[in-house]
Chain A
């Protein structure tokens, strides 16, 4: 594992305001994710895991603090720049797969490359490689509805890696799968990690958190614990506990 931080968060906070009521979803988050690292974010429902992942994935902007991706500040980018970075630097894997039902497996995987403006020939090569990586080449012309949950998540993984992003963000990737399929998808992520991918995964399943090199535990919007080697590893250093 290298030591270059791909992601650096400093004093990140997120406040939602509705009807003059402020809800502090995240408070004073400090976090670094290094290249090639497999990080797991754990915590109970409502602790801010998904909010943190949304900020990491530039789906949402923090209310305060510093966010650097590949050494560049990205917390205050406009919507268009954020979309461009999402497309080039981030690969998403969602709990509910989030494949587009009208598109075939091939087209779903191709979509981020289309948005990137990649030439057709190169797109095709990349898509086939990604599908091969997840073992779904034979289903390239199927529609998502024709696949099982596990297969759909494999396609989602292929879509996430096809653009060779800087980091993969996985939000409860096994949450909608049975245990066999869940393990299969986790093996897939583990394989990607072994081949050098940086992964940040939100999960509340301690079995799968153990796949990670490091686990960050959130509670009430704060990092309360950090362990090396998954959810059962050692506690986070005092410096990371704010």
Chain B
């Protein structure tokens, strides 16, 4: 302990006496450690902590998806859910759920809140009890059963002032008096399809929704029974889905079972992003370590004599290594402490930059992040401190003790330092390529054609209460009334309605049959939308063949180009027929072909899609309760929004108007994640470039300082400035070239890891590689040229005397 304290005290004074070295090393480490801690705090909150639910590992998403769709969409139909619920034995219970919007009226301003429609056993399956009141009773889930609602703690506090007497009273939900059955605990969150939901109501479906086996719109969740395993549950659910496929080929052909832990499912999209970010900051930390190791090597070269004296006085190699590591430990701890400040600052911003939905509660930097930072700092010390310590402790004792010992790096140390720089350059190359690929990808995303013209379009998302608008006719009348009012409003070019719109977080897929084609042979699932006649004009979606809908149309369908190509390549699709109720009809006749639309995300290729007249009794009829109202005008969104709101208020004064947005905002939202990821990668790559440039500069400077005499001799023998520049820059570029080569190999190998985050470009995109090599080359040239210019100014007479 005495020796350790002695080392610590000496190390502390040594760092104080070298403020430049200390500041550079601590800042470098702080950036590396801080970036890692910040990203780790995200990874920890999103991926590593179990869901705040009882025994979350046994909660499974239980669903099905069409194995033939381009982008699998996994939702259950109601009849399929009922069959699963009845037949599955591996679960204590299966619950169905879907997100929706519900209108809250009453004393306060009408508002639309995000709601979860769940089967009555939902809270039982989750094993969650509301903090006040109860969950749902079986009869509350039955058609015509009593109305009940369970509130989130957030909504209870925000809208109802945390009224302790609210449970047992009624509130107005979608125009109905509804019993408040319970209020959930503050930390309750169910992230699968229902993240951020403020209101839960029992599943209420239209008769059409209850009967249609081909309409997949429900999430499923189940809790494994004691003794059941993921494998046994998968096997059982697969067998049930396979049986349903045989029993109902017209709707269930090609559907595949899916059973995955809820936590895995909710992280499916975020995981690659988080891993790649963690990888990127890991690279930054390694570069920082290499830089600090380089600084320590340069410093230890100047301390050769001191170490030799210590060895002569009886310090063995282990002691010397321990002493040097103590110094590194101190640096690491200082770097870690400063890193925490960086992380604190960065973690706050990350939550806003990255559109990841963080679980509630807990500060960004808690004990776990502190522990991670501590361990990371110690690991960092080992990485950057061990090599210089081992190297320095290996010095030649006699040489070190000799009078006039120069304290310059040995050839081995010089090679080591060059190797470290090559490693830095390799890591920086990999990061720059990653960032470059993402930049190019983002550029493509900014310029991708969504298939519609969002400019000047404003959208309102509504939920039509079934009680107020009990049938398709009433809802259709409301829709027509709103469109008529809007069409007559000043500044409006066109208006339309649809059940849902692209990029709004919701989609419906339906299975269908094509006339004359056996179901088993062809893919038969596509996105579908119900739209009013003005939809294509309002949204700027081109009609490529045939015509658009007219008011009196029924039993007709418009298909997208993708869908037309899928089923009728080289033929005229107009006049062909499809059915949503099996291969016996009733049939819907294709009247036109619309352009392809990127529906769920701009990054995803357009999927086959078909359009039906809004609330057509011959097709989806009674099923639609969600309504999006679209309006296009030349005046811009801010002028159109009040016009749209006024028209809706005239049509229904109780209708909440909280979800009115410009379509351009939805596009920006869709690009937000890509932009944020690119921004972060670019920041990390910039940091890596900066650190690598510092490393190159440092090593080249040392090299020049050590070769002053040699350069002097060369100049005395007639070397010109350009010869000296060539000598120094050439030597620097040998190291840099090696690093870039290694980085290239690493990047090609790592390319697959970020492939899923790229859009429209290959991980081997030549322009990106060219640009990265140009940037890195220019920076490296600058970093070597400065010391080289200094070398070229060497006075031969002075240089020859320096020995």
B299-340, CB under 8 A of A: which get 1 and which 0? 000000110111111111111000000000000000000000
Given known A-B contacts A96-B403, A102-B17, A117-B2, A57 and B309 have beta carbons under 8 A apart: no
A87 touching B310 by the CB < 8 A rule? Answer: no
Q: How far is the CA of A82 from the CA of B317 in the complex (A)?
A: 11
Question: B14 contacts which chain A residues (CB < 8 A)?
Answer: 102
Interchain Cβ contacts within 8 Å, total number? 79
For B793, the chain A residues whose CB sits under 8 A away are none
Instruction: Establish whether residues B310 and A59, one from each chain, have CB atoms under 8 Å apart when the complex forms.
Output: no
Q: How many residues of B contact A (CB 8 A)?
A: 26
Task: Decide if A83 touches B315 in the complex (CB within 8 Å).
Answer: yes
Judge whether B317 and A79 touch: CB under 8 Å: yes
Check B312 against A98 for contact (C-beta < 8 Å): yes
Q: Which of A108-116, A132-140, A217-225, A233-241 contacts B (4 or more CB under 8 A)?
A: A108-116
**B10-A83 in contact (CB<8A):** no
Encode contact with B along A77-116: 1 for CB under 8 Å, 0 otherwise: 0011011101110001011101111110001000110111
Complex Cα distance, B398 from A79, in Å, reads: 14
Minimal beta-carbon separation of A62 from chain B (angstroms): 13
A82 / chain B contacts, CB cutoff of 8 Å: 316
Our pick among A54, A101, A115 for the contact of B314 (Cβ within 8 Å) is A115
- In whole Å, how far is A99's beta carbon from the nearest beta carbon of chain B? 8
Query: In the assembled complex, which residues on chain B have CB atoms less than 8 Å from the CB atom of A117?
Result: 2-3
Is B352 an interface position by the 8 A CB rule?
no
Q: Which of B309, B317, B318 is within 8 Å of A98, CB to CB?
A: B309
Q: Is B618 an interface position by the 8 A CB rule?
A: no
Q: Which residues of chain B in 3-22 are interfacial with respect to chain A, using CB atoms and an 8 Å cutoff? A: 3, 6, 10, 13-14, 17
Q: Which of A102, A115, A175 contacts B313 (CB 8 A)?
A: A115
Q: Which A residues lie within 8 Å of B799 (CB)?
A: none
In the complex, per-residue mask of A41-82: 1 if CB is within 8 Å of any chain B CB, else 0: 000000000110010010110000000000000000001101
* Chain B residue at minimal CB-CB distance from A91: B313
Q: B397 near A: Cβ within 8 Å?
A: yes
How close is B19's CB to chain A, nearest CB, in angstroms?
14
B2 touches A111 (CB 8 A): no
The answer to whether A98 and B316 touch (CB under 8 A), given A59-B397, A59-B398, A111-B310, is no
Does the CB pair B13–A100 fall under 8 Å? Answer: no
Closest Cβ of chain A to B303, distance in Å, is: 9
CB-CB under 8 A from B3, the residues of chain A are 114-115, 117
Interface centre among B310, B313, B401 (most CB of A within 10 A): B313
Chain A residues near B13 (CB-CB < 8 A):
102
| Majority-rule SS of B interface residues | helix
Complex interface residues of chain B between 371 and 416 (CB less than 8 A to chain A): 397-398, 401-403
B3's nearest neighbour on chain A, judged by CB, is: A114
Residue of A nearest to B307 (CB): A100
Indicate whether A13 reaches chain B with its CB closer than 8 angstroms: no
Enumerate chain B residues within 8 angstroms of A176, measured Cβ to Cβ.
403
Pick from A50, A83, A92, A102: contact of B316, CB under 8 Å:
A83
Give chain B residues whose Cβ lies under 8 Å from the Cβ of A87.
313-315
Chain B residues within an 8 Å CB radius of A159: 313
Docked CA distance A233–B710 (Å):
48
In the complex, A88 Cα to B17 Cα: how many Å?
A: 31
Which residue in chain B gives the minimum CB-CB distance to A95?
A: B403
A86→B398 contact, CB < 8 A: no
CB distance from A115 to the nearest CB of B (A): 4
Cβ–Cβ contact A84 & B2, under 8 A: no
Known pairs A84-B314, A84-B316, A92-B312. 9 more at Cβ < 8 A? A54-B397, A83-B311, A87-B313, A92-B313, A96-B401, A96-B402, A98-B305, A112-B313, A116-B314
25 CB < 8 A contacts A-B: A51-B398, A59-B312, A59-B398, A60-B398, A79-B317, A80-B317, A80-B318, A82-B316, A83-B311, A83-B314, A83-B315, A84-B314, A84-B316, A86-B311, A86-B314, A87-B313, A92-B312, A95-B403, A98-B308, A98-B312, A98-B401, A102-B14, A114-B3, A119-B2, A176-B403
